[in-house]
Structure 1
Amino acid sequence: MHKPKAPSKKLQFSTAKTLETQPPKRPAPRAKLPKRSKIALFFIGLFALLTIAAAGILGSYAVFQYRYNAVPDGEQRSVVVDVPRGTGLSSMAERLENDGLITSAFIFKFVHKIEGREAGLKAGEFEIKLPASMKSVYEQLANGKPIQYGFTVPEGRTTAQIIAKLNAAQKLTGQITDSPPEGRLLPETYLYMRGDSRQSVVDQMRIAQDKTIDALWDNRAPDLPFTTKREAIILASIVEKETGLDGERARVAAVFVNRLRRGMRLESDPTIIYGISKGEILLGRDGRQRGLRRSEIDLKTDWNTYQIDGLPLTPIANPGKAAIAAVLNPPVSNDLFFVADGTGGHAFAGTYDEHVRNVAQWRKIERDRALGGP
């Protein structure tokens, strides 16, 4: 029998080599997502993030609203808060927090910006009632009435005196750039807020006088011895300086109207003073108020009605409404003279002789007072 042949080594080698040279199997490639699916996943993720962020914001807003509406502990009191013109929400919030009026400037600003109320603050001074929530503080500033102050001008003050008083008013601002001439302002009480300009108050006074003279002029008496509104103001200013008594203005006005009608000089002492000092009090060497000197009575100026006919060149003060009304509708009277009577008023006379007697009585009163009498 033939023995089977052993496998050839060459053949074995060849077989092994064939097995070794076969390339390894690669894993099957993953299926790619369509482009639309990728976009959808992106937006799903973005929406989730936005939802989480919105939830965080809403949660924070709820906490902020709680603190915004919370009323802190404390005693009841009032404080005045000044909001200058042009103040923004951010700077105001910082001030309120620094002054202890709100607990958080950040929350104060955040809530108002979210709610679109950051431009709601008004300029002015406001009285804030405490303790108060941040919401209440804001509402008192945004909806409250600003504190107003009164500037009072007494009748018969000159324009220079009024301007000086305005310049001394500390809550007003700015310079008076358009100073009106004498007699163009109406004495009255005018309201203003802290930070208002001095010029705005002057403008109020000038407008008020225009309205007053316009209204009274249309109802003036016939046949007055003057023809213009300016002349009425000039005469009213003399009446204003001659008496401070409400009940006398009409009678004093009648005296001057009667004298003008007769061509008599007005002979008013305040017109002499205005020609000398522009309405300022005349002082002696001792610093006390003094009377007129003979040389001053004889001094001819554009205002001295002892030396000139008719009306002075300008008003000698700013007359009030009552004085203007008095010269436009004076009562029927025969009075041509008046002199002080020692009681703060005047004694009136229709004749010169009667006036002389009244003057003599006044001189006696002056002498008695100089000697220490009543």
Structure 2
Amino acid sequence: MEVFMKINEVIRKHRKEKNMTQEEMANRLGVTAPAVNKWESGASMPDISLLAPIARLLNVSLDELLSFKEELSEIEVSSIIKEIYEMFDTEPIETVYQRILEVTKEYPNAESLLLSLIGIFNSRCVILGVDKNEEYDKWIQGSYQNLLFSHDEEIRVGAADGLYALYIRKEMYEDAERCLRYFSAKDPDRKRKLATIYYGKGQYEEAYKTLEAEVLANYQTMSVMLLEIFMVAVKTENFEKAQVIIEKESALAELFEMGEYHKNAGKLELAVALKDSKETLRLLDCLLSTTNTVMDYTKSKLFEHMTFQEVNPTIFQTLRVNTLKHFSEDDTYKFVRESEGWEAFEKKWMTA
């Protein structure tokens, strides 16, 4: 929530800027120095009849003197927003617009409130088909641009997001691209926005590459998150949940055409967690037989516009060797080595 300068801080700030003592100010206003001291300390407020003389003495407008209020509570912000929404149902859009202007003048530093009001008004203009009104567009654009100078990063990003959408709708792609500098390079939505700009400018190849790279990155993120959930489930011995999660992780790999190896890797982890030696050997055999599918996604139509490094075939043999060594030496898999099927399995793969 935005914090506003209080009237006592406004008086103290401007008095000091004029190199005026509290006593000098008191003499000019016909009050006592202790009265001025109480105003500046926040112990009391000036009488309403003194507001105009104080504003003239400090060379500020009454709006400036009075508009710096204490921060609005969330309830107050919600109340204002609710009022605006209700007005849209009962009043002409011009009346709502004028009310929003009044609110923004009354609370000029309430940046989060202003950001919400701009977004609400802009959306309603689009819905009602009046988004081509030059006055409204100018206000929306100007208000967003002003908020780009906020000290609050969240406000700046919100304003940039609003401006980006406005520029995209108006097919102002160069302006839209400039908005992207307000977004972190790690923002998952930044590349999608860039792809939209590429598409709008007719740079379809670049749009494809950008979107496909994001699809692949999102798959990898979702897969890792599911495996993390799986590990938590195993740690808490919630094997029913662990099985559900691994089935979904496998289905995800199939959906994104990751290849047989990726479809079964998680299932092997589940079999190990359950100490199911028979299923572990079956899945391990499956993985060793399909190591050459690890990079199958590079052949998928999903990612056909992406450029991948050529894979050295020896990587598949290295993967098989390391996997076998892991199962042959790690104590975690002792239950597998002691199982009935291990000897035949070992004979098959150790001599392969």
Give the alignment's TM-score, normalised by structure 1: 0.28
Higher relative contact order (CA 8 A, sep 6+): 1
Instruction: Judging by fraction of residues, say which structure has more strand.
Output: 1
Which protein has the larger Cα radius of gyration, Structure 1 or Structure 2?
1
Instruction: Judging by fraction of residues, say which structure has more helix.
Output: 2
